[in-house]
Amino acid sequence: MLTNKTITFIGGGNMAQALLKGLLYFGVVAKNIKICEPNPEKQEQLSKQFGVLVSTSSAAVVKGVDVVLLAVKPGVVPAVLEEIAPIINKETLVISIAAGVSMATLGRGLTSGQPIVRVMPNTPALIGAGVSVLFADKDLPESKLDLARKIMAAVGDVDEVSDEGLMDGVTALSGSGPAYVYLIAEALSDGGVSCGLPRPLADKLAVKTLIGAARLIDESGEHPAVLKNQVTSPGGTTIAAIAQLERSGLRSALIDGVRAAWQRSVELSK
């Protein structure tokens, strides 16, 4: 379904590049992809690395394409929409991965009836291990929604919500979530160093433990609490650590962190 589609990216940042890699891997030909990117150094890098057409003008690369993917900072979206709205075809699917930009904002900036899908991806998309959540109005044709699904599937798993209000929670949990994991990995490594481990070994053990534990949750289908109990022997080292973590408020700190990100996302969406 994707191989013959023409796709324009507005913005050539990390997430756009992750999607580019995925789409090219899944058979979209470079000649069918265009990018609008104002930074001269990035223009050269994108052209050399991916072999795609790169332009400084969004208006020059949106006409007649099947998909326009907005991969710019949220504050830039209104100006981009103002520029492309008079030129973009009415049947072109617009996919926005700009955090906090509502469907209402996107709709106001485009022609009435323009097919739009809002997506919240996350940075593990850079290695094809992302998770993206889609929201679209219920009257969007299934063919357009399926096209959005397939594009985002090029960089990982895809889920959907039927209530746009849930996108703020998605942003707080999976969109911002990688940063929480990086913080936990750093803290675990510091803990190992405090026990006398060399830093390189502590770093490796922290990362590999997180990867392995996450894979076990995913592949076993067991609830995390069940897997935790399997590691926790009576009177052993793990229960001693868990008791201390509970006293220090690890669980509530993570919950509060997600809620703080959610509240900020709600504020930005207004």
pLDDT single digits (tens) 192-250: 999 999 999 999 999 999 999 999 999 999 999 999 999 999 999 999 999 999 999 99
Burial (CB count <10 Å: 0-12, 13-18, 19+), residue 98: buried
Contact 26/2 with Cβ under 8 angstroms?
Answer: yes
Domains located in the chain, CATH noted: 7-162 (3.40.50.720), 177-269 (1.10.3730.10)
- What is the biggest distance separating any 2 CA atoms in the chain, rounded to whole angstroms? 69
Taking the model in full, what pTM does it have? Answer: 0.91
Contact 33/44 with Cβ under 8 angstroms?
Answer: no
Residue 33 CB-half CA count within 13 A: 27
Burial (CB count <10 Å: 0-12, 13-18, 19+), residue 64: exposed
For the cut 80, the answer to whether the pLDDT of residue 75 exceeds it is: yes
pLDDT single digits (tens) 133-164: 999 999 999 999 999 999 999 999 999 999 99
